[in-house]
Amino acid sequence: MTQLVTLWSFVRRHKYLITLLVFAVIILFVDENSILHRMEYAREIQRLKGEIEEYRAEYEEATRRLKELDADSSSIEHIARERYLMKKPNEDVFIFEEDLKE
């Protein structure tokens, strides 16, 4: 019984400190918008920004290639020969294994 009384007197004396600590624990760790969740969200945002930059660079490269193809018809022939292994009717094409691995 005396332990309960001393506990109660401790709680009465430090009720604001205890309330503040409970509030801090809830805000920092338990809440949906806690510091831990915010740090996780920040990491996710940085990862997604990196992906956006990668896709933007890929888009710019594809746009550059498209403009190059519109400007020069010989580049279309070059791509058709290299990537799709196309040939003219009177040609023979030799394919090396090293070229296929790349």
Residue type, 56: R
In the predicted structure, residue 18 carries a pLDDT above the cut 70: yes
In a domain, 64, yes or no: yes
> Residues 27, 40: one domain?
no
Q: Which structural domain, as residue segments, surrounds residue 12?
A: 1-31
| Structural domain contains residue 8 | yes
| Number of structural domains in the chain | 2
- In this structure, the answer to whether residues 45 and 83 fall within a common structural domain is yes
Task: Determine, yes or no, domain membership for 44.
Answer: yes
CA separation (Å) from 98 to 65, 86, 102?
Answer: 25, 18, 7
Is residue 101 in some structural domain? no
The answer on 56 and 18 residing in a single domain is no
CA atoms of 85 and 93, how far apart (whole Å): 8
Q: Is residue 53 part of a domain?
A: yes
- Whether the model clears a pTM of 0.75, i.e. scores above it, the answer is no
pLDDT band, very low/low/confident/very high, at 22 (cuts 50, 70, 90): very high
Contacts 24+ apart (CB under 8 A), 30-35: none
Task: For residue range 76-95, list pLDDT tens digits in order.
Answer: 777 777 777 777 788 777 77
